[in-house]
Amino acid sequence: MSASKETLDQIALNRDEYKLIVQQLAREPTEVELGMFGAMWSEHCGYKHSKPLLGLFPTTGAAVQVGAGEENAGMVDVGDGLSVVFKAESHNHPSAVEPYQGAATGVGGIIRDILAMGARPVALLNSLRFGPPGDAQNRHLFEGIVAGISGYGNCVGIPNVGGEVQFDASYSGNPLVNAMCVGLLPHGSLVRAAASTPGAALMLVGASTGRDGIHGASGLASRTFEEEREMRPTVQVGDPFLEKVLIEACLEVARGGHLEGMQDLGAAGLTSSVVESVHRGGTGFELDVSMVPRREASMTAYEVMLSESQERMLLIPKSGHEAEVVGILDRWDLSHAVIGHVTADGIARVVDGGTVVGEAPVAALVDAPQYRPTGVRPVGLDALHAAPMPLEPARSQANELLKRMLASPNVASRRAIYRRYDHEVQTNTLIKPGQADAAVLRLRGTTRAIAVAIDGNGRMAYLEPYIGGAMAVAEACRNVACTGARPQAVTDCLNFGNPENPEVYYQLEQAIRGMADACEALGVPVVSGNVSLYNETRGQAIYPTPVVGALGLLASAEASVTAGFKRAGDAVILLGADGVAGLASDLAGSEYLAHVHKQVNGRPNIDLTAEARLQALLVELAEARLLHSAHDCSEGGLAVAVAESAIIGGVGVELDAKVVGRWDAALFGEQASRVVVSASPSGTHALLEFAASAGVPAVRLGNVDGVKLRWSGLVDVPLAALAEAHETGLARALAG
């Protein structure tokens, strides 16, 4: 009997896709088969609208050892016999429904992606988006999500070292929770998520299987929220203490050389884990659901195959190593069961006791239909570009506007968030949250360090998707370059609305094209990532929000640079501009325009060639030990960057650079590819010579000195007043 519309809606398949399944099987699918196809062909697992576009990304490079799509995460050689494994993943829809568990299990899931490759997770980051904090529901989501991230990460013993958060009305009801994990792996220790040997055992390890998370990939993450409906059964429940044990046990098994393959159970649970593993190995499987340990009675085969219960891993032991694997798991007191075996026939076969309940070709399950709609440029985009800017305010307002900008929820100190995270566990964190544009972690046993950051700006992508995509890559890489690290590679989370809407598909395609061009210009391949679509409620989409996580490498950890001014008398220099000038067009998409004037308009822009020169210069200056501080100009513009460097360093600044044109655009415009640095008086000449040689314009702004931020003829505010606005702004906004 043909599946009903209600059934297909539940698993986010359309009627044509159902007909294609019938054609592949030459018969109507069983309930289990339909559930497996629904999961594997979901947008979340099958990338139906994005896979053709993702091929635009550069994915190879001299240091890349595992590229995008090859395994659970990307892997980059960082020298001294070490590799870094990293990836970002979204958990947006579950977090909208159940903020604490949605965010917590998002952290747990990205950790297991890193673990599945045999790497030890060493750092977490997150990128968050919420509606305006003045709304009670948005505050509820904020509190639950931050609590979920801290509650899971702190308990599992992995430092949460960085991230970002933005607030905008487009995210009301659709919060974004993008989690990034970084792991370390000795050369030669990679574990593949592949089952290549017929007869090998399929061993399920960790938590028992329950009904939580069923339809999480297909029903929750692959459709929009169109009506009020109870979605909590699709949200998983996490156990960070079990995850910690799972990490240690799986790493011991992997280090012992006992595994042919290992895969985590995330979206679509057993279905995706086993199907993807045998697909990579060119094999098939037979799995008996009656052998799966369960925590709930009377679960059907369908429920077992689609459950997204957390803290579970699939191990494929090498032949003859089964006893050693069992011994290690028993010593860690971890539940385990052999639930099936690898076959040679390329068939995904599910049995329940002695009864076959599902049988489909693996190749068909992984071959989700691909869609390449024709994108349509949003109708209102040109009008947004041409919309008039507000009038320039009187210069007498500069002091109050600077304090107001520093208190903006999108600019103010994130201490209220990161104070809840343990960022020092494992004792490798050299530069902590709030000290620099990126976190820096030592690589023990070497002189090296890595820098990691995650960033994005949906407002810029909304105004011009191509430019917004390019700017996301540029800013994430600029953040790590500001610490002195040379960008190596990036991961991404692509958060967009319904791709079946031609305007949304245009945003997705153009943002990816912008990101790809930025990656080419900066020499950073994309090694992993995630696409999260259907982020909208009742037809209202979020801003297109490409988020980028960047990895940088410092040859010497001692050369790392923070954002705070250090010493009185140091010169303050702006790299990336030869003067302080402001045009109305510089306000495009700025926080100043949105926060002060309640406008989102203009056309942002970026010169990727200039960006590449700037980032290369920052690395050279750090290696030459010429930088005392470096902080990029992003949200809030130049004045906010200078103020933040002064606040972080606890020392004032006296600026005398001439401001021409619109003073508000000069101070608060968000022109790309600019960094505020400081240097000793004796090193300033050399720094400027480096900049000239690199083709990067530079202008001296003034000197570090005193207890105020004073810009001659424009700003004169005690540093304590600026610090108070910056430190309390977010807390005040969250207080309603």
Q: Whole-angstrom Cα distance, residue 88 to residue 662?
A: 39
The structure tokens listed for 254 are 């992997």
Closest by CA to 473, choosing from 638, 180, 673, 622, is 673
Alpha-carbon distances, residue 712 vs 253, 398, 652, 701 (angstroms): 64, 12, 14, 11
Residue in 49, 91, 93, 423 annotated catalytic: 91
Label the pairing between strands 336-343 and 284-288.
antiparallel
Smallest CA-to-CA distance from 113 within 238, 266, 305 is with 266
For residue 590, the tally of other CB atoms under 10 A from its CB is 27
Run of H or E residues at 84: strand 82-90
Cα–Cα distance for residue pair 248/329, rounded to 1 Å:
10
Distances (CA, A) of 373 to 52, 202, 366, 571, 686: 11, 39, 21, 53, 53
3-state secondary structure labels for all residues of 30-63: CHHHHHHHHHHCCHHHHCCCCHHHHCCCCCCCCC
Phi then psi for residue 8, to 5 deg, are -65, -40
- Coil, strand or helix at 330: helix
Residue 95 in contact with residue 105, Cβ under 8 Å?
Answer: no
Rounded Cα–Cα distance for residues 621 and 617 (Å): 6
Report the interhelical angle of 637-649 vs 719-734 (nearest 10°). Answer: 100
Inter-residue contact 74 to 527 (CB < 8 Å): yes
Is there a catalytic annotation at residue 44? yes
DSSP SS3 for 395: helix
Going by C-alpha positions, the residue among 619, 529, 681 that lies closest to residue 88 is 529
DSSP code for 212: T
Residues 410, 91: Cα–Cα separation, whole Å: 21
CA distance 500 to 648: 45
Is 91 labeled as catalytic in the residue annotation? yes
Token reading at 525: 């391949």
E strands, 521-576, in order: 526-532, 536-537, 540-541, 545-554, 571-575
Burial 274-308 (b: 16+ CB within 10 A, else e): bbbbbbbbebbbbbbbebbebeeeebebbbbbbbb
* Residues classed as catalytic: 44, 91
